[in-house]
Structure 1
């Protein structure tokens, strides 16, 4: 079993001098929260409770001007800068000890252009915000699978979701962005203007600046056939899932989940807490094909429980919300794979049987279809030849429980390694995966480093899966 160090010793909070505190507060239209202020304890928290940091200040930005001011302040005072959107970064990059947290959570304005089928959303929006706004016009774009995830972090990492096979990744649908760079410049990047910066933020993580707004291409997706179907944890079910993805239309989004049976009413109680697998479906094709999709799902194996029906597309992105609220303890690893070979399936079944909690899950995302029609150098997301991406995510209610599960996930990842690519999806990487950054970006890493030197030569934006200038 691979050993893993426990959390580093706590460090004392650095506080701003009275002069610097006044300077920052007087120049911010939003809110500045410092140690000792009411609300500081809530303001410093992030989604993953493994990261218990104490910043010197949390700036809740009200507008792009606040972003520029905060970036300039952190750079000039040589303070660590953490940028927070939805705060879901499993590696805890939305907070820091002794530095400044730039919290975009109040910047959540959205404008939909139904004729052009585009959305312009401020950088603090979550996928719940964007899905809701777009759905009013019968439109959607690829987003995350937990509705409280921030659009910025998911998109700049690549952005996989239920619509990936049909619409591509979230970064493939990013058509423009307003970016505040390390020198405080406000840069609007489009395919015609500052196209290199747009290329970099389409999969290059938070390395290049703060996204004040993101503009997306939308697609006609309104109601879908969606929901989970549970089966025994059996290699044959996974092999049939592999066949389902290979010969199904791209309108079928279907995530394979391996874990323990959740306490939901449509799953018999005897299966609660027992190892099983499930397929979470999002069929965005014709309603006339619903029965055929149901039959294909029923044919994967003995159905233990099922909740499958017509629903608004935004609903499918909420299925994991209740089980995975903020404040749990997470540690993640990820893989890319070419195909889903039998030997890998055996590892999924073997380690899936030892899943440490109901909240923990192994989730397999298909990456064929529209994802693979984008060239490997067309965006910073490099693994266009991967067929699947897997998230290995032990999630526990205590820090001790999560640390105890780290050996399980390291051994699981090692068992999958012979069947996996060298790199993996950056949004599935934890803080101890920095050494994997060149492999994650593959043939695009050198170009990303060159652009990092141009836009952030002093590495102000380093709390991320860092591309060192």
Structure 2
């Protein structure tokens, strides 16, 4: 018999859920079992629930502690059907339709103690689990099949600012908008994600960079401490301060997702005023001129400016057609007048759209939100390039992208399934990041090279393999024609010599530890054996053999 169960989005149990479990069918694992109301549930005997790993508790209204906040549907005693989830249910993955599915368990803690209890419980039952923060990633590492669990931190979004100490403390389920907004109330800011709904945990633990990195370095370079639940359920504060775990602090700054559940971060924040930023849009035919102006920018950049080149499509015209265009997002950490003077060469090219403006810093990270809206199917890829930007190679890469999308457009009878794909050539100053030695943190990829994010967006599930194949081809082309290792070395790179120059937060496929961390992989493996000997936190890079 196939029984279909669906987890809910949040809050207390719905009436339907409560009706499905009477007093005799409510069980405790320190968790609450939730499901869609079905007469079949009532037919499950206590023995069947016990076989699923549950032990009897009391009525819902006397459910203590974590039971209200942790949801679980076990699959040992019954089969969970692969049914597509709808909006409004937990099984609808908020960001990426490519990883929609049912989980054996969904854990929704409110406190570090509840996270610890969940980790201990899941480990004791040998249930594999992943951790979900902002649910923004496309790699699937925050997803889990029906045989496992997801510890979802969405209810842990507290933020506090100590303006006198210039620090901000935020919980692991926060989004960057939570941190930006809280710090801005005090005229403060710290380097964070360039999209507001990026989760803090994934970005911080993988290194992190943003519009302020030219002035303050990577996100991890501003960290003061990280509270983490380890694989055995113990709670440790990682920091360089007296009493802090210094070895773990080294590891979590770049490889943190491999060591535990980060429940709280403390970071330095800095005085921050308004900034000048926005989009300049040019016809694709002028791409070479735009790249030339970007190269002029690279010759004089001071650390307070950044640009992002994004070849794509403009809005639909009267006939529904979308013309090829190059959007250029510019940033100057200062006034509008200063920004206009600094980017005068670009403005002189006469963009068809100028959406730049002076704005509060907390708004700058919301500019790209429309490019990565929830839903559809997403997958991230990463390539790298060095400066000066090769205009011919840039045009060739963009042309390959356009040819693929236009071919898809013709074969689908006009459907525009891939036209929301984003190619982001992220030209952020790296001098500040390069001032930190490669061995100072686990994140060793510090050099004067630039990330190219390939954010593939489509809706037709039958095309998954094809789109992923093309994404790899395009990433390989960009890295082969636009990345020059000699230029990176001569500019003062601190990149470990064995590194493959890949930014961990953009990875979507497994990679070797050396590929992700270079020479730091040796120390990381030693620390992994100490802190997570059973390899509960097994990520895209392999630091230990899978148990």
Q: Determine if the TM-score, normalized by the shorter chain, exceeds 0.5.
A: yes
Alpha carbons 2:385, 2:479 under 8 Å: kept: no
Is residue 536 of structure 2 the alignment partner of residue 460 of structure 1?
yes
Partner residue in 1 for 2:240 = 191
Conserved? CA contact 1:33–1:43, under 8 Å: no
Equivalent pair of 1:119/1:216 in contact (CA under 8 Å): yes
**Residues 187 and 58 of structure 1, relative CA distance in 2, 3 Å threshold:** same
Moved more, 405-414 or 108-117: 405-414
Is 1:112 the counterpart of 2:161? The answer is yes
Indicate the residue corresponding to 1:303 in structure 2: 351
Name the Cα RMSD after superposition. Answer: 2.9
The alignment status of 1:319 with 2:364, answered yes or no, reads: no
Counterparts of residues 393-432 of structure 1 (less than 5 Å): 393-418=455-480, 419-420=482-483, 422-430=500-508
Deviation at 1:58, TM superposition (A): 0.5
State the secondary structure of the residue aligned to 2:99: coil
Q: Does 1:91 align with 2:139?
A: yes
> Using the alignment, how far apart are the partners of 1:200 and 1:322 within structure 2?
34
Q: In 2, are the aligned partners of 1:164 and 1:253 still within 8 Å (CA)?
A: no
User: 232-241 or 22-31, which moves further after superposition?
Assistant: 22-31
What residue is the counterpart of 1:247 in the other structure? Answer: 300
The alpha-carbon deviation at position 456 of structure 1 amounts to 0.6
Unpaired segments of 5 or more residues in structure 2?
Answer: 8-32, 34-47, 58-62, 75-79, 406-417, 486-499
CA contact (8 A) 2:278 2:330 kept: yes
Give, in whole Å, the separation in 1 of the partners of 2:194 and 2:341.
24
CA distance 1:288–1:340, change in 2 (3 Å): closer
Residues 412, 166 of structure 1: alpha-carbon distance in 2 compared, 3 angstrom cutoff: same
Task: Tell me the distance in 2 between the aligned counterparts of 1:91 and 1:384.
Answer: 23
Q: Which residue of 1 aligns with 2:69?
A: 31
2:384 maps to which of 313, 331, 336: 336
Q: How many residues align?
A: 451
* 1:370–1:13 CA distance, 2 compared to 1 (3 A): farther
Deviation at 1:401, TM superposition (A): 4.7
The residue that corresponds to 1:225 in the other structure is: 276
- Residues 304 and 333, structure 2, Cα contact 8 Å, conserved in 1: yes
Q: Is the 8 A contact 2:513 2:542 kept in 1?
A: yes
Residues 23, 380 of structure 1: alpha-carbon distance in 2 compared, 3 angstrom cutoff = farther
Report the CA distance between 1:83 and its aligned residue: 0.3
Mean Cα deviation higher: 379-388 or 146-155: 379-388
Q: Does 1:276 align with 2:336?
A: no
| Match 1:42 to one of 89, 92, 105 | 89
Contact 2:96-2:377 within 8 A present in 1 as well: yes
The structure 1 residue matched to 2:402, chosen from 353, 364, 388, is 353
- Alignment of 1:128 with 2:153, yes or no, is no
By how many angstroms is 1:229 displaced? 0.8
| Secondary structure of 2:444's aligned partner | coil
Q: Deviations over 1:266-300 (max 9, x none)?
A: xx87997322222212211355513313524314x
Separation (CA, whole Å) in 2 of partners of 1:468 and 1:139: 40
Which stretch shows the higher mean deviation, 17-26 or 443-452?
A: 17-26
Q: Please give the alpha-carbon distance, in whole angstroms, between the structure 2 residues aligned to 1:40 and 1:95.
A: 17
Higher relative contact order (CA 8 A, sep 6+): 1
Residue 494 (structure 2) aligns with: none
The CA deviation at 1:390 is: 1.0
Give the CA deviation at 1:466: 3.8
Using the TM superposition, give the Cα deviation of residue 468 of structure 1 relative to its aligned residue in structure 2, in angstroms.
2.2
- The answer to whether the 8 A contact 1:29-1:62 is kept is no
Which residue of 66, 70, 84 maps to 2:114? 66
The whole-number CA distance in structure 1 between the counterparts of 2:200 and 2:321 is 33
Distance 2:449 2:320 in 1: 30
Q: Secondary structure at the match of 1:319?
A: coil
* Residues 358-373 of structure 1: pairs in structure 2 closer than 5 A: 358-365=419-426, 366-373=428-435
Between the aligned partners of 2:203 and 2:454, the Cα distance in structure 1 is 17
Instruction: Give TM-score scaled by structure 2 length.
Output: 0.76
Deviation at 1:107, TM superposition (A): 0.4
TM-superposed deviation, 1:49: 1.2
Q: Deviations over 1:5-64 (max 9, x none)?
A: xxxxxxx99998634345898662552333499999722333211112321111111100
Conserved? CA contact 2:6–2:91, under 8 Å: no
- Contact 2:86–2:92 at 8 Å: present in 1 too? no
Give the TM-score of the pair, scaled to structure 1.
0.88
The corresponding residue for 1:155 is: 204
SS of the residue aligned with 2:254? coil
Secondary structure, aligned partner of 2:97: coil
Q: 1:48 to 1:39 in 2, by over 3 A?
A: closer
8 Å Cα contact 1:30/1:59 also seen in 2: no
Greater Cα radius of gyration, structure 1 or 2: 2
What's the secondary structure of 1:281's corresponding residue? strand
Q: How does 1:161-176 map to 2 (within 5 A)?
A: 161-176=210-225
Cα distance in structure 1, aligned partners of 2:376 and 2:178: 23
Deviates more, 1:244-253 or 1:450-459: 244-253
